[in-house]
């Protein structure tokens, strides 16, 4: 009787062992802290993987970061700007990415593109790099571009005239800006956005500075000079590179040039600057939110 009982127990154990070996073990949970960068990068990768759409990963990455900050601060809608539109591929990409980011993070996004509509103004002096740029460079077919846009608004004219009017219209807080004006003089005018009413800005604004690498760009001309002068004259508003960013973007972009063109504007006197934003602490994995209308 005892031997029979032992055999029965052994047979049961063997059957259980076979069943356990036949089934793959459950996947282990993600190890280490799941910082916001991890799942925000997933959104960037998903948008980039969609076929048939123009892609500007720098724009998408900055837009995702801006929308996430707004979400954490309870801000339901933001603005995203491209300054210097030219033929318009960047604005089209930003327009399309905004829809996807809204669906993923539940923050509405208003997209605006600013351009003369007639190409670059004439360089004023050596700081405008006349060895690279000439009046009329990067012209636009405004009618053709508008036909490609879904919800983005194209604003034509010199930025020194159009941006003050735009800010006076009380847009949603700005969460992302792409600076692609080429000229030092135009960039100086554009950076005044970051010195404006804090209510029209997120406390940290992700920025893409297009013309700072290679060629004859230097600290004493172009966008770099405009940034240095802005920082020197605004104690409570600072524009800084995002240091070591290549270690935080999706792996496919580790060596992409755009990573070194990403900056962050710090609005130090913003009433929400010190508010918790969730970037530096572990988050649940995955994170889902209800998309906002629009």
Q: What is the pLDDT of residue 6?
A: 42
**What CA dihedral angle connects 269, 271, 276 and 278, to 10 degrees?**
-70
Residue with tokens 């994995």: 285
Sheet with strand 153-156: strands edge to edge: 153-156, 108-115, 77-83, 174-179, 201-209, 262-267, 237-241
Provide the token pair at 206. 């992700």
Classify residue 197 as exposed, middle or buried by CB count within 10 Å of its CB (0-12, 13-18, 19+).
exposed
Residues 6+ apart with CB under 8 A from 139: 86, 118, 119
Res. 28: pLDDT tops 80: no
**What stretch of H or E contains 263?**
strand 262-267
Give residue-wise pLDDT tens across range 247-278. 999 999 999 999 999 999 999 999 999 999 98
The Cα–Cα gap between 85 and 189 comes to 16
Exposure on the CB side of residue 230, measured as CA atoms within 13 A? 27
Provide the token pair at 205. 């604004």
Give residue-wise pLDDT tens across range 43-62. 999 999 888 778 899 999 99
pLDDT class for 279, splitting at 50, 70, 90? confident
Give the range among 26-30, 176-180, 209-213 with minimum mean pLDDT. Answer: 26-30
More confident residue, 32 or 199: 199
The answer to pTM > 0.95 is no
Q: What is the pLDDT of residue 51?
A: 80
Average pLDDT over residues 141-149: 97
The Cα–Cα gap between 40 and 131 comes to 40
CB atoms under 10 Å from CB of 247, counted, come to 9
Instruction: Report the chain's mean pLDDT, rounded to a whole number.
Output: 88
CA angle 83, 38, 57 (to 5 degrees): 30
Average pLDDT over residues 166-191: 98
Exposure on the CB side of residue 114, measured as CA atoms within 13 A? 26
**Fold observed for domain 34-267:** Rossmann fold (3.40.50)
Q: Are 144 and 89 in contact (CB under 8 A)?
A: no
Average pLDDT over residues 187-211: 98
The Cα–Cα gap between 64 and 53 comes to 17
Give residue-wise pLDDT tens across range 99-132. 999 999 999 999 999 999 999 999 999 999 999 9
Burial call 42-76: b when 16+ CB within 10 Å, e when fewer:
bbbbebbeeeeebebbbbbbbbbbbbbbbbbeebe
Size of the chain in residues: 294
């Amino acid at each position: 009787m005892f031997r029979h009982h032992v055999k029965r127990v052994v047979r049961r154990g063997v059957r259980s062992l076979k069943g356990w070996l036949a089934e793959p073990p459950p996947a282990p949970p993600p190890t280490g802290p799941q910082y916001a960068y991890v799942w925000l990068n997933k959104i960037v990768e998903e948008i980039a993987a969609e076929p048939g759409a123009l892609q500007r990963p720098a724009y998408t990455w900055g837009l995702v970061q801006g929308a996430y900050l707004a979400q954490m601060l309870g801000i339901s809608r933001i603005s995203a700007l491209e300054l210097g539109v030219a033929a318009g591929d960047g604005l089209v990409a930003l327009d399309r990415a905004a829809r996807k980011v809204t669906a993923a993070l539940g923050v509405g996004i208003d997209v605006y593109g600013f351009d003369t509509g007639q190409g670059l103004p004439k360089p004023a002096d050596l700081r405008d790099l006349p060895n690279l740029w000439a009046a009329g460079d990067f012209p636009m077919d405004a009618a053709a571009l508008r036909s490609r846009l879904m919800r983005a608004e194209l604003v034509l004219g010199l930025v020194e005239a159009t941006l003050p009017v735009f800010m006076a219209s009380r847009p949603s807080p700005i969460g992302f800006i792409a600076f692609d004006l080429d000229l030092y003089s135009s960039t100086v005018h554009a950076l005044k956005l970051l010195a404006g009413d804090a209510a029209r800005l997120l406390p940290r604004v992700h920025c893409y500075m297009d013309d700072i690498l290679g060629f004859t760009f230097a600290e004493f001309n172009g966008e770099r000079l405009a940034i240095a002068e802005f920082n020197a004259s605004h104690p409570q508003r600072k524009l800084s590179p995002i240091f070591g960013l290549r270690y935080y973007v999706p792996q496919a972009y580790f060596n992409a040039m755009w990573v070194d063109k990403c900056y962050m504007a710090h609005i130090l006197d913003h009433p929400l600057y010190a508010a918790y934003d969730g970037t530096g602490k572990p988050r649940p994995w995955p994170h889902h939110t209800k998309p906002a209308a629009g």
